Structure 1
Amino acid sequence: MNERPTPLIEQRADPHILKAADGYYYFSASVPEYDRLELRRSKTIAGLADAERVTVWRKPDEGPFSDLIWAPEIHYVRGAWYIYFAAAPSREIKYDLFQHRMYAIHTDAANPLEGEWSEPVQIDTGIDTFCLDATVFEHGDDLFYVWAQKEIGIEGNSNLYIAKMDTPLQLQTKPARLSIPEFEWEIRGFWVNEGPSILKRNGKVFLSYSASATDENYAMGLLYADQDSDLLDPSSWTKSKEPVLGSRPELKHFGPGHNSFTVSEDGQKDLLVYHAREYTEIEGDPLWDPNRHTFVKELQWGADGMPIFDTPGS
């Protein structure tokens, strides 16, 4: 059924929904003003739409993290809450790129909406270039960090990297590059691989990501590796040559991407969380158009154990 998808939350891009062990769903996303970190929580996914919005951190007027607060993700890691995000010192553009670096704040509070949060700490990858869109995941006894970053000498805005972490704020290993923009659908408008998210199922580790400019050309790709392989070895990963999710003009659904994964209330269904627009007539820079909305839909699975993203539905 080609039913037009309905937004769960309007004007929230780069959405991240975490179902935590306390039974709550936690929601974080980029706000249109790019000026703060905002959380909400609910016992149900539908309840997130009208849940109280709590600002847990607001950008200062100046300094290294004083502008363009992008793509916050809340995670519960090793006994504490962390929000990973990207921020710039200003809107200055050098070498055709903003000057974002990656940061994290943390709290030990049981309820992160009520906690006292730390000051931002920079996550240093050892590469001093534009970087953003960090996520973390635990696998076995290890904690991994996955993100997007510009590498000098490689054409484009950003590639995808992975590293093992020593602590939730510090890398243990050097970055391993997993993917660069190379296919036609990854280089429309901008050469971009960004917005990684991890899902572990069926003996594999799946890494979804987004590519191209943030207008109707935005689309999602997929990498995957065997769960027992060396995740720091780029050769362990297979990259899909085709996008797994793209614009659907017939549904007025444009530029889907920057996703996360969560599960249904009963834990039986995997859910895809992502943003998209409902039109293409954008005035000026798409970055400043506020109408990237949060959508949630069920993630289907094929008989081969692979996820099926591009199925219509709310």
Structure 2
Amino acid sequence: MRITNPFIPNRADPHVSLHDGHYHFTASVPEYDRVVLRRSRTLDGLASAPERVLWTPPPGGPASSLVWAPELHRIDGTWFVYFAAAPSRDTRDGLFQHRMYALRCTDADPMSGEWTFAGQVDSGIDAFCLDATSFEHRGVRYYLWAQKHPDIPGNSNLYLAPLRDGLHVEGAPVMLSRPEFDWEVQGFMVNEGPSVLVRHGRVFVSYSASATDERYAMGLLWADGGADLLDPASWHKSPTPVFVSDPAREVFGPGHNSFVLAPDGRTDLLVYHARNYTRIEGDPLWNPDRHTCIQPLQWDADGMPVFGRPLREAEIPEASS
């Protein structure tokens, strides 16, 4: 299967997941005014699949504006969409007022089932937060997200906590990473957009850093699969970015990724957003031209992921007949 990037235009913060033989896709829309979902039996079918609006925010209240970075997860038989939202889109009120919220669907089919607003996911730190994801490892369900801490300089750090159920964390959050290297503090001091991949006896967390223009880049954390993931000392951090802009291929600001298996059931795919130009007019946040891209993830002999260069065309392995 040959895919040309951009794979899905004008969709940022892409999250692709595989459930019950279907690929599901959700992402930030340029208007930041709704949560959407697509589904297809084939990966390439996501590009043209009908898009259902799962939820639109109310005209007022704490989750009424700037809906960012939804992710679809199935937890204990219930569908959840995690997303960030703010009380106002007026930048005079301060842009970074987001908190994390969830939608919930108890029906089997997330495309036809009824979705309801389930409320705020309280991280235990009352401050700007966004980009939550969830994963299960060794029988424990975790919640991983980006958050500003009132006592730590910068815009956001990465935190981890056990998840008691789909809406409630358990115990005090543990900080896994904060912006510290030069490539993480360009424009903004940011660690955000975490995504988890468990492979080769390790737990890998990719994340994005710096401003959302061409300086945006991806970093990597990892821990031994048998280690205590709630102990910060278990985690290692690459001092250099693992995925960056590629001017020669006209790919700028790659980041905010997710991982999903290719149709062959073996190959890991890297899904991310990027722009194909740098001359952004106005605030990069409001520019609609962050596009979803996709390509295979490689692995080295030591079992570490190799992100390589952004590809304008990618060969995706298909299921064998």
Q: TM-score, with normalisation over the residues of structure 2?
A: 0.94
Name the amino acid aligned to 2:5: T
Task: Give the alignment of 1:11-50 within 5 angstroms.
Answer: 11-20=10-19, 22-50=20-48
* Residues 89, 95 of structure 2: 8 Å contact kept: no
Aligned-partner SS, 1:134 = strand
Of 94-103 and 8-17, the range deviating more from structure 2: 94-103
* Residues 246, 309 of structure 2: 8 Å contact kept: no
Distance 1:312 1:56 in 2: 31
Whether 2:7 is the aligned partner of 1:8: answer: yes
Distance 1:202 1:222 in 2: 15
Deviation at 1:312, TM superposition (A): 4.0
Distance 2:104 2:24 in 1: 15
Distance 1:310 1:154 in 2: 32
Instruction: Detail structure 1 runs of 4+ shifted over 6 Å in the superposition.
Output: none
Distance 2:29 2:175 in 1: 29
Deviations along 1:108-161, one digit per CA (max 9) or x if unpaired, are 112101111122310101110000000000112111000000011211100000
* Residues 93, 99 of structure 1: 8 Å contact kept: no
Deviations along 1:257-312, one digit per CA (max 9) or x if unpaired, are 00000011120100000000000000000001000000000000000100001234
Deviations along 1:26-45, one digit per CA (max 9) or x if unpaired, are 00000000000000000111
In the alignment, which of 145, 152, 155 is matched to residue 153 of structure 2? 155
Distance 2:109 2:65 in 1: 27
* Residues 97, 157 of structure 1: 8 Å contact kept: no
Distance 1:98 1:117 in 2: 27
Matched with 1:213 is 211
In the alignment, which of 184, 187, 191 is matched to residue 185 of structure 2? 187
Distance 2:304 2:94 in 1: 37
Name the amino acid aligned to 1:41: R
Aligned-partner SS, 1:76 = strand
Deviations along 1:90-119, one digit per CA (max 9) or x if unpaired, are 025589652000001111112101111122
Name the amino acid aligned to 2:191: N
Matched with 1:62 is 60
CA gap of 1:94–1:193, structure 2 versus 1, over 3 A, is farther
Name the amino acid aligned to 1:146: L
Matched with 1:286 is 284
Matched with 1:125 is 123
Distance 2:43 2:33 in 1: 25
* Residues 5, 251 of structure 1: 8 Å contact kept: no
Matched with 1:99 is 97
* Residues 97, 130 of structure 1: 8 Å contact kept: no
Q: How many percent identity over aligned positions?
A: 59
Number of equivalenced pairs: 310
Name the amino acid aligned to 2:9: E
Of 243-252 and 152-161, the range deviating more from structure 2: 152-161
Distance 1:296 1:135 in 2: 19
Deviation at 1:6, TM superposition (A): 1.6
Matched with 1:237 is 235
Task: Give the alignment of 1:287-306 within 5 angstroms.
Answer: 287-306=285-304
Aligned-partner SS, 1:229 = coil
Could you tell me which runs of 5 or more consecutive residues in structure 2 were left unpaired when the two chains were aligned.
Answer: 315-321
Distance 2:175 2:130 in 1: 14
Matched with 2:69 is 71
Could you tell me which runs of 5 or more consecutive residues in structure 1 were left unpaired when the two chains were aligned.
Answer: none
Of 84-93 and 150-159, the range deviating more from structure 2: 84-93
Q: TM-score, with normalisation over the residues of structure 1?
A: 0.96
* Residues 91, 98 of structure 1: 8 Å contact kept: no
Deviations along 1:205-232, one digit per CA (max 9) or x if unpaired, are 0000000000000000000000110001
